[in-house]
Amino acid sequence: MNFTLEIWRQFDGTDETEAGRFETFKVTDINPDASFLEMLDQLNERLSHEKKRTIAFDSDCREGICGACSLVIDGTPHGPQQVTSCQTYMRDFIDGQTIKVEPYRANTFPVIRDLAVDRGALDRVIQAGGYISTTTGPQPEPNSMPVSPEIQEKAMDAAICIGCGACVAACPNGAAMLFTGAKVTHLNLLPQGQPERESRVIGMVEQMDAEGFGGCTNYGECSRVCPQEISIDVIGMLNREYRKAKTKKKSKPEKAMTTQ
């Protein structure tokens, strides 16, 4: 298969004088079973051969679970199939097609170079409460705290988030509520998560705001691009948990951290 690629090139995201631009490449003789990233590998091998600068992009596991890939393909985070870019195959495109490739677009994800961005803000949201504050040591026997399979399934449906940030990139408001809602849903559903139920949701929501993520206005784009198909229900859960926590007396939220 043959394609024309319009790829975003940006030398250094920290230097505002350096403007980004699209650069056009033709790729030929691509195997339809090659993944989108393998197609970019081939282009990079050719660029090396031509002694031109290769295209920077993040990827690691290449099996859809690490969450490193962060492309916007033809306007959609990850690509057209609601799976990560590494599991997007060239057979999903039309032979001869022009494909536009950009990095994630969000103020909270500064560009490092070309298609690689900094998603450190998501780690800081987790630091603000996305855990159960237990430390290593003797723990209770798990079967002394039964969890029904229904609850486990629901928690797991949220816990499968890969932290790729596509939800942020897809949201017109740049909100991270699907990401945050997934973690709050996972932990707040489980019996182990109950003691920190309120401080968790308040801490994480305030950190989201401090990072500059937007708010949810129910576009639903996040869930539509989520490669793990996390339901927008987790945002409902996030809002409910937040409201309950804020209206309850005596909750002591931790202060949000400053960014960077």
Partner 1 sequence: MTVFDSNIPPGPLPEKWQNWLDTHKLVGPRNRAGKNVIVIGTGLAGSSCAASLGAQGFKVKSFCFQDTPRRAHSIAAQGGINAAKDYANEGDSIHRLFYDTIKGGDFRSREANVWRLAQLSANIIDQAVAQGVPFNREYSGALATRSFGGVLVQRTFYTRGQTGQQLLLGAYSALEHQVRAGNVQVFNRHEMQDVVLVDGEARGVIVRNLITGDIERHAADAVVLASGGYTNVYYLSTNAMGSNVTATWRAHKRGAYFANPCYTQIHPTCIPQTGEYQSKLTLMSESLRNDGRIWVPRKSGDDRPPAEIPETERYYYLEERYPAFGNLAPRDIASRAAKVVCDDGLGVGGTGRGVFLDFRDAIAQQGKESIERKYGNLFEMYTRITGDDPYETPMMIYPAPHYAMGGLWVDYELQTTIPGLFAIGEANFSDHGANRLGASALMQCLADGYFISPHTVTAHLAKNHDEVSTSDSAFDEVESDVRSHIQKLMDVGGGTSAQAFHREMGHVMLDKCGMSRTAEGLDEALAEVREIKGEFWNDLRVDPGDEEFNQSLEYANRVSDFFELAELMIHDARRREESCGGHFREEHQTEDGEALRDDEHFAKTTAWEYGGDDPVPHDEALTFEEVQLATRSYK
Kindly identify the residues of this chain, within the stretch 31-70, that bind partner 1 according to CB under 8 A: 31, 33-35, 37-39, 41-42, 44-45, 48-49, 51, 53-54, 56, 58-68
Distance in angstroms (rounded) separating the CA atoms of residues 110 and 118:
5
CB 41 within 8 A of CB 31: no
Identify the CA nearest to 35 among candidates 52, 57, 54, 51: 57
The residue among 42 and 219 lying less far from partner 1, judged by its C-beta, is 42
Distance in angstroms (rounded) separating the CA atoms of residues 150 and 147:
8
CB 44 within 8 A of CB 28: no
Total residues interacting with partner 1, rule: CB under 8 A: 74
The residue among 154 and 171 lying less far from partner 1, judged by its C-beta, is 154
- Contact window for partner 1 (CB under 8 A) among 156-164, 168-176, 210-218, 233-241: 156-164
- Cα distances (angstroms) measured from residue 187 to each of 23, 83, 152, 184: 44, 25, 11, 5
CB of 125 to partner 1, least distance (A): 10
Strand ranges inside 10-133, DSSP E: 21-27, 71-73, 76-77, 98-103, 111-113, 116-117
The residue among 74 and 118 lying less far from partner 1, judged by its C-beta, is 118
CB 133 within 8 A of CB 188: no
The residue among 51 and 249 lying less far from partner 1, judged by its C-beta, is 51
| Residue list 201-260, contact with partner 1 (CB under 8 A) | none
- By CB under 8 A, tell whether 28 contacts partner 1: no
| Residue list 89-148, contact with partner 1 (CB under 8 A) | 91, 112-113, 116, 118-120, 122-123, 126-128, 130-136, 138-143, 145-148
The residue among 30 and 216 lying less far from partner 1, judged by its C-beta, is 30
CB of 143 to partner 1, least distance (A): 5
Identify the CA nearest to 129 among candidates 173, 212, 195, 226: 195
The residue among 133 and 218 lying less far from partner 1, judged by its C-beta, is 133
